[in-house]
Structure 1
Amino acid sequence: MTSPTVLISGLGSIGLRHTRNLKACGIQKIIGYDPNKERRLSFETTMGLESCDDFEKGLEKKPDLVVIASPNLFHVQQSIAAADHGCNLLIEKPLGTNQDSVPRLIQTIEEKNIFAHVGSNWKFHPAFTKMKQLICDGKIGVVFSSRVHGGYWLPDWHPWEDYRTTYSARKDLGGGIEFDAHELDAITWLLGPVNSIKSMTTNTQILEIDTNDLAIACLKHDNGTLTTIQMDYLYPVYRRKYEIAGTKGILEWDFNSGLTLINKDGETKHFPEEKIDDLNEMYVAQTQHVLEGIKGLTPPVTSVKDASQILDLQIKISRT
């Protein structure tokens, strides 16, 4: 394949991140789509790239890869439209907000034999790949429990825009912390599929939004491990923490302090090499993986079928 043509659907912050990273990886032919005229003009000016005001017009350009970075509500239908045209896919998380058309998407991907990866940038973070390696190698023994927390203060997430207008704050765009958080995807990748879930959600009214801003869930994995997860838009400081306990030791990862292994004897091993200062590195690694994938050189790290299982959990949480 010559240098691929890429269509970016959605020119918000994540769409622009993907654009910058694709350009950094040497991709020159990138087309942006967004229904918002101001975003299109900004994209053309700052990126020096072409944009269009209609998604179908973008597909008529015959892109090799379509990046779905639109609000959650549009992910599945836009992915189906792109797959119908034979385009490879990078779909931002979550896969969607319901399962209604997911089987059709999976069928089209299989029939067209296209590469489709669902956004899962933390799986490309060196601390997460190290945790998975240590767990698989039995370094902490038989894993029996984990505790996970992902939280941040929503108004600080994109300080350049009114958080109340973003998709996260709006039910009509498929927002809500249960759909926004990465933690369900990451912990099932680390510890395996989930067969039972109990959860509670709430809109605390602390923020002026109509979506859930706090969710707490207890998961039972197929291997019997129990996980508790807190996801929220409310923490006054950015918080992302994992604690995974096994019969031989404990893995602790904190966004600020990095990865630590504590064994039964209390001995502690730090992994400073697994801490990165620029989180965009994991997004670049994901971009490189996708570009390899559309050449047929590697499978998706998170397939649509994988993401569909996470969507099941997200839907169950949203209904509590």
Structure 2
Amino acid sequence: MSSQPSSPPRVVVRGSGSIGQRHARVFRQEGADVWLWPVRDRGLTGLAGVDEATGARLLDDSSGPAALRDAFVVVATDTSRHVADALEALDGGAEKVLVEKPVAPSADAAEALDAHPRRSAVWVAAPLRAHEGFRHLRRLVGRLHRGGSAHVWCQSWLPDWRPDRDYRESYSARADEGGVLRDLVHEIDHATVLFGRPLLLGAVVDSGGPLDVESDQAATLLWRTAGDFAVTVRLDYTSRPASRGVVVRSPDGTLEWDVARATVRHTSAGGEVTEQVFDHDLDRDLVMGAQARAAMALRPSAPVDERVARGAPATLTEGIGAVRLCDEARATGALVIDDLAHREGRS
């Protein structure tokens, strides 16, 4: 007696901006039955209730709530809505929820989600974890017998992010939900996976700069880990050309991850160089597809090594932890500025 073929997983994507549409397209490529629920009318076009750009079927505020039950829900709305939309999905009976980064504008703002009885069903998007280069780098870091220093950076020019839109009108420009610490929280997240739980030692956060925005334009963080790594992180919207990567230096050699080139280079203590190229990492849809597969297949409660090996997103605890470190950096940076102003006032 033959078994009936299983139906494809049903995915509801809340939010139809650029990242919401990408999620809808990627989950469809992974074989899911995808429904797109816009927050506002973005002029989506299609026939018979199907979005032309993504092929996903469309929901509205009258049909959306009922579609949440037993679905895999992606929250891809504005950061200020993430917690409320995730709570609606959980209360509506969603099987699992994937919240875009950052999970909330601040760790305090995520408190209601963290206290929800179904918090263990929540993922937080972290697609850099799905890069094959990142997973290879983590294996190499794990083979270092002694700690060392690491520099992590993501530097670019904000107006280049979406050339067809005025960057000053984007969420990135808003002080309450934008800025490099929130936008580039990926670097905070993956650095804690690579080197361990951080103890923040100092931070400089710059709101001023060449861009006409209220949010922070640049940040430099320094922390120490229990694994005996000193880590510096540089994030900014104010650099050209764009650059992103990690360099680890230790008595056991040097490791370098160039995200833009999708390469990981290992230089041994004796000077022998090995470089590997991970072409799949250059295709954003393939990377997000790996994240999507892992998020659908696993639970956030799965062992950390299994989650990282599969390219799964961050857990809710990890997502909130990354935002909390950003909060601490903002507070520390403000103290540094106050201290400098005080010293200048005395001179």
Q: With structure 1 as the length reference, what TM-score do the two structures score?
A: 0.89
| Aligned equivalents of 1:21, 1:82: Cα separation in 2 | 20
Residue 126 of structure 1 pairs with residue 132 of structure 2: yes
RMSD, aligned α-carbons: 2.4
| Aligned equivalents of 1:171, 1:66: Cα separation in 2 | 28
| Aligned equivalents of 2:102, 2:16: Cα separation in 1 | 17
What's the counterpart of residue 218 of structure 1? Answer: 222
| Aligned equivalents of 1:131, 1:225: Cα separation in 2 | 15
What's the counterpart of residue 73 of structure 1? Answer: 80
Q: Cα offset for 1:309?
A: 0.9
Residue 47 of structure 1 pairs with residue 47 of structure 2: no
Q: Do the aligned partners of 1:197 and 1:313 also contact (CA within 8 Å) in 2?
A: no
Q: How many positions carry a matched residue from both structures?
A: 313
Q: With structure 2 as the length reference, what TM-score do the two structures score?
A: 0.83
What's the counterpart of residue 305 of structure 1? Answer: 317
Q: Do the aligned partners of 2:156 and 2:236 also contact (CA within 8 Å) in 1?
A: yes
Residue 189 of structure 1 pairs with residue 193 of structure 2: yes
| Residues 317, 296 of structure 1: alpha-carbon distance in 2 compared, 3 angstrom cutoff | closer
| Aligned equivalents of 2:43, 2:299: Cα separation in 1 | 28
| Aligned equivalents of 1:244, 1:135: Cα separation in 2 | 8
* Matched position secondary structure for 2:212: coil
Q: Do the aligned partners of 2:113 and 2:119 also contact (CA within 8 Å) in 1?
A: no
What's the counterpart of residue 247 of structure 2? Answer: 243
Q: Which moved more, 1:145-154 or 1:24-33?
A: 24-33
What's the counterpart of residue 336 of structure 2? Answer: none
* Matched position secondary structure for 1:235: strand
Q: Cα offset for 1:200?
A: 1.0
Q: Cα offset for 1:277?
A: 3.1
Alignment partner for residue 7 of structure 1, among 6, 12, 15?
12
What's the counterpart of residue 91 of structure 1? Answer: 99
1:262-277 equivalences in 2 (<5 Å): 262-273=267-278, 276-277=281-282
Q: Deviations over 1:268-320 (max 9, x none)?
A: 11112467332322111001111213699886541101111111111122332
Residue 105 of structure 1 pairs with residue 109 of structure 2: no
Q: Which moved more, 1:58-67 or 1:302-311?
A: 58-67
Q: Deviations over 1:242-272 (max 9, x none)?
A: 1012221110111244210011111111112
What's the counterpart of residue 170 of structure 1? Answer: 174
Residue type of the alignment partner of 2:73: V
Alignment partner for residue 298 of structure 2, among 289, 293, 299?
293
Q: Do the aligned partners of 1:259 and 1:274 also contact (CA within 8 Å) in 2?
A: no
Q: Cα offset for 1:141?
A: 2.7
Q: Which moved more, 1:228-237 or 1:158-167?
A: 158-167
- Greater C-alpha Rg: 2
